[in-house]
Amino acid sequence: MMMQMMLIKSALALYAAATGMALTYLFSKDDKWSLWMLRLLGIGVLCHLGSFGARQYLFWQIPENRWFFSINSFFGALSFLALAVAAAFFVIEREHRLGILGAFVLPCAALGTGAAVIFADPATRGLPPALQSYWMNIHPMVLMAAYAMFGNAFGVGLALLIQEHQIKSRKPSELCYRLPSIEELDNLNYKIIVAAFPILTAGIIMGGVWAYEAWGRFWGWDAKETWSLVTALLYAGYLHMRLVRGLRGRKAVYVSMLAFASVIFTFFGVNYLSDLHGYLSARG
Amino acid sequence: MSPLSLVGVSHKNGALEAREKLAVVSAQRVFDELRREGVREAVILSTCNRFEVYLFDEKERARGWAVELLERVSGGAVREQAYLMEGDAAVAHLFSVASGLESLVVGETEILGQVKTAYEQAKAAGMTGKRSNVMFQRALFTGKKVRNDTAIAVGPTSVATVAVQLAESIFGSLAKSEVLILGAGAMAELTARHMLSKKVAKLTISNRTWERGRALAESLRAASLPWEQFESGLESADIVIASTGSDRPVVRRQAVAAAMTRRAGRSLFLIDIAMPRDVEETVHGLDHVYLYRLQDLEAIVARNLSARGGEIAAARALAGAKARELGAWLKSLAAGQELSLKHSDAANG
C-alpha cells in the first residue's frame, strides 16, 4: 500500500513538473523545456506503472481477484485513465513532434492522478462475482484507452481554439508562431478522434456482450450505458459533420468538446447515478 | 599596442558615398594590398551596410595607415567617416556585429551568414591564422547564441514576412497552398515574389487590365485569370493578396461567402495591401476567413521591432561577455600562456 501510494505520488509530482515545463515551453522558445517535459513525463509514466504494479500485487493477494486487473474501483480506474492519457500523449507527441501541446494535455493527466490521490479510496477489495470475468480485463481497458485518446484530442482542440482566436484577433502574440497551424491542429484532432471512435464503439459492444453473459441482457439503460451511448453519438456527430458536411475548425472543435464533456460525465458523474457501474456505490 | 586592429565604414556613420565605392572592391584586391604591406592575417567583411577590415599585424605603423589603404583600393575619400579600433574594442565590435546589434534591423540573421562568408573567403585566400580562426569562430558562435538565448531575433520584421508567417500559422507548410494575386502593380509583384520563394503550389494573377496581368504572370511563370472570373478563383485559392488600384472594394462579402460554401471548411487568408481598401471589412466576420489589412501587418511589424528593442540590453551583455573572454584569450596567447576556451563552443562556429 505504501509502495503504491509513494509511487503514484511521485508520478503526480512528475506530471505536475512536466506540466510546468510544458507551460514554460509555451512562452519560451528554448527546446530544453520540451526535452525536460518529455523526460519528466517518461519517468512519471514509469512511476505510475510501478504504482499500478504494486496495486496489482495487493489486489491479487485476495484469491478471487487473481489475474484480474484492478480497475473496478474509482481509484484504480482514475489512476489507469490518467496513466493512459500521459502514455497516449507520449506516443502522439513523439510521432508528431508537438511538444507544445503538452501545455494542453498534461494538465489532464496531472489532474486525473491528483483526483485519484486526493479523492479516491485506494483500498483493494474482493471482486463481486459478477465482475469475475475475463471481460474485466478487456471491457474497461478498451474504453479507457479510447477516453485517453479523446483526452488528447481535447487538448489539441483547445490549442486550435486559441490559435484560431489569435489569428482572428489580428493581434497575434508570439504564441501564434509557436503553436501548430490551424489546419494541422484540425487534422490532428480529427485523426485522433477517428482512431478512437471505433475503439469506443468496440468497448461499448463488449460491455453489451458481457452484460448479456452476466445479467442476461445486452442493454438495460443503466446510466453508464445511456451516457456512453450519448458520447458515442456525439463523436459520431462530429465525424459526420466533418466528413459529410465539411464542418471544420472552430465549430467542429465545439462539437468534439461537447462529446468530451460527455466522456467526463460518463466517467465521473454517472458514479452517482448508476447502480451497476458505480465505483462509489461499490456495487459495480 | 595590440596586434589586432579594425578599420571600417558603416551605415551608422552615414558614409553612403564611401560605402558605395568600397562595396565594389573585391576582397582579393584588399588582400593583395595587405600582403604588399606585409600583413598575413586579415578578414574583410563587406555588406551593403558596412565594409570592415579586421587585421592582425605585429609591425609598428603610423596611425591611420589602414585608412589610407582603404582610400587607395576604393579611390575615394573615407577619412572623415572611417572608424579605427584596436584590441578589445575591435573584438567587442565584431561580436556585436555578428549578433546583429549593429544592423539596421536589430537582430537580423543575414549578417551572420555574411560574417561567415567573409571568414571563409579569408581562409580560402590563406589570410587566416590561429588568432583570426578562433576569433571568427567564436564570433559566429556568439551570434547564434545571442539569437537563441535572447528574443532579439523573434518575430518577422517586414510586412511580407509577417504575411507569410501568418499564412503558415493557418495552413502549416505552404507547399500545398494556392495563391491568388489581384493586381499587377509593384506591391503585387513584390508579394508574389515572396510567395514564390516559399514554393507555393500555384500562383495565379488576376488583373483588371488583362495584358499587364498576363505579362507579370509570364515573367513570374505564374498562371493568369481574366478579371471577370476572379471570384471563381476564390474557391480554390488559399491565400488572396489584393493590391489593385481600384477606388472601391473589389472583393465583396457576398462573393467570399458564396466561395466559402464550396470550400468544405478550408480556411481562406485574405491580405489587403491596397490603398484604398480592396476587400470589404465585413468579410473578416465570416467563419474560416481571415482578413488582414496593411495596417494590421504594419502593427505586427512595429510590435516585433519594439519587442526586440527590449532585448537589446541582454543581447549586448551576452555579446560583451563573450568578447571579453576572447580578448583575454588573445592576450594570454600573446603572453605565451594560452588560456583554454571552451572548444566545444568554438567548434560550433
pLDDT 10s digits, B297-337: 999 998 888 888 888 999 999 999 999 999 999 999 989 88
Q: What percent of chain A has pLDDT over 90?
A: 59
Q: Residue B259 corresponds to which cell in the numbers above?
A: 466561395
CA distance B296 to chain A (A): 6
Q: What is the mean pLDDT of residues A5-28?
A: 92
Q: How far is CA A37 from CA A25, A99, B3, in A?
A: 9, 8, 49
Q: If you average pLDDT over every residue of chain A, what do you get?
A: 89
Whether residue A248 and residue B264 make contact (CB cut-off 8 A), yes or no, is yes
Whether residue B265 and residue A249 make contact (CB cut-off 8 A), yes or no, is yes
Whether residue B300 and residue A183 make contact (CB cut-off 8 A), yes or no, is no
- Active-site pick, B48, B201, B317, B321: B48
Whether residue B265 and residue A247 make contact (CB cut-off 8 A), yes or no, is yes
pLDDT-based confidence at residue A245 (cuts at 50, 70, 90): confident
Out of A167, A248, A250, the one facing B166 most closely (by C-beta) is A167
Q: What is the mean pLDDT of residues A88-101?
A: 81
Which residue type sits at A233?
L
Q: Tell me A130's DSSP state.
A: G
Chain pair A-B, CB pairs under 8 angstroms: 60
Active site residue B48: yes
**Kind of pairing, strands B178-182 and B50-56?**
unpaired
By CB neighbour count within 10 A (0-12 exposed, 13-18 middle, 19+ buried), where does A64 fall? exposed
Of A12-21, A229-238, B226-235, B329-338, the range with the lowest mean pLDDT is: B329-338
Q: If you average pLDDT over every residue of chain B, what do you get?
A: 90
Q: Tell me B10's DSSP state.
A: E
> Choosing among B145, B152, B162, B170, which should be mutated to test the A contact, i.e. which has the most A CBs within 10 A?
B170
Out of A177, A183, A242, the one facing B267 most closely (by C-beta) is A183
pLDDT at B72 over 60: yes
Which residues in chain B are closer than 8 Å to A239, comparing Cβ atoms? none
Residue ranges of chain A whose CB lies within 8 Å of a chain B CB: 29-30, 163, 166-168, 170-172, 174, 176-177, 179-184, 242, 246-252
d(CA A250, CA A263): 20
Residues 134-153 of B with CB under 8 A from A: 148-149, 151
Whether residue B287 and residue A250 make contact (CB cut-off 8 A), yes or no, is yes
pLDDT at A89 over 50: yes
pLDDT-based confidence at residue B1 (cuts at 50, 70, 90): low
Reported as a single tens digit per residue, the pLDDT across B48-57 is: 889 999 999 9
Q: Residue B276, preceding bond cis, omega within 30 degrees?
A: yes
Give every CB contact of residue A270 below 8 A, 6+ residues apart in sequence.
Answer: A223, A224, A227, A277, A278
Torsion of CA A158, A162, A163, A168, to 10 degrees: 140
Query: B32-41 long-range contacts, Cβ below 8 Å, gap at least 24?
Result: B33/B69, B33/B72, B33/B73, B34/B69, B34/B127, B37/B65, B37/B69, B40/B127, B40/B129, B41/B127, B41/B128, B41/B129, B41/B131, B41/B132
Whether residue A182 and residue B148 make contact (CB cut-off 8 A), yes or no, is no
- More confident of the two residues B53 and B192: B53
By CB neighbour count within 10 A (0-12 exposed, 13-18 middle, 19+ buried), where does B160 fall? buried
Angle at B241 between CA B237 and CA B244, to 5 degrees: 125
User: Chain A within 8 Å of B262 (Cβ-Cβ)?
Assistant: no
pLDDT-based confidence at residue A101 (cuts at 50, 70, 90): confident
Contact A279, A77 (CB under 8 A): yes
Q: Residue B204 corresponds to which cell in the numbers above?
A: 495565379
Reading across the β-sheet that carries B178-182, which strands appear in turn?
Answer: B223-224, B202-206, B178-182, B239-242, B268-272, B289-293
Q: How far is CA A12 from CA A18, A40, A122, B87, B315, in A?
A: 10, 11, 15, 55, 38
DSSP bridge pairs for B43: B54
Name the 3-class secondary structure at B221: coil
**Residue in the structure block whose three cell numbers are 452484460:** A211
pLDDT for residue B121: 95
Q: What is the mean pLDDT of residues A261-281?
A: 77
pLDDT at B122 over 60: yes
d(CA A101, CA A112): 17
CA distance B300 to chain A (A): 7
pLDDT at A256 over 90: yes
- More confident of the two residues B124 and B2: B124
pLDDT for residue B177: 93
Reported as a single tens digit per residue, the pLDDT across A62-79 is: 988 888 888 888 898 899
Report the residue of chain B nearest A177, measured CA to CA: B169
User: Chain A within 8 Å of B261 (Cβ-Cβ)?
Assistant: no
Reported as a single tens digit per residue, the pLDDT across B326-349 is: 999 999 998 988 888 765 444 443
Whether residue B169 and residue A170 make contact (CB cut-off 8 A), yes or no, is no
Report the residue of chain A nearest B300, measured CA to CA: A171
> Choosing among B152, B169, B303, which should be mutated to test the A contact, i.e. which has the most A CBs within 10 A?
B169
**Residue in the structure block whose three cell numbers are 579586421:** B54
User: Chain A within 8 Å of B348 (Cβ-Cβ)?
Assistant: no
Angle at B120 between CA B117 and CA B123, to 5 degrees: 150
**In terms of DSSP H, where are the helices of B221-311?**
230-233, 253-261, 294-309
Whether residue A180 and residue B172 make contact (CB cut-off 8 A), yes or no, is yes
> Choosing among A160, A167, A240, which should be mutated to test the B contact, i.e. which has the most B CBs within 10 A?
A167
Whether residue B155 and residue A174 make contact (CB cut-off 8 A), yes or no, is yes
Contact B256, B265 (CB under 8 A): no
Helix (H) or strand (E) holding B4: strand B4-10
CA distance B304 to chain A (A): 9
pLDDT-based confidence at residue A281 (cuts at 50, 70, 90): very low
pLDDT for residue B343: 52
Q: What is the mean pLDDT of residues A164-185?
A: 91
pLDDT for residue B42: 95
Q: Residue B26 corresponds to which cell in the numbers above?
A: 573585391
**Residue in the structure block whose three cell numbers are 603610423:** B62
Angle at B46 between CA B44 and CA B50, to 5 degrees: 115
pLDDT for residue A37: 92
Contact B94, B6 (CB under 8 A): yes
pLDDT at B152 over 60: yes
Reported as a single tens digit per residue, the pLDDT across B133-143 is: 999 999 999 99
pLDDT for residue B346: 44
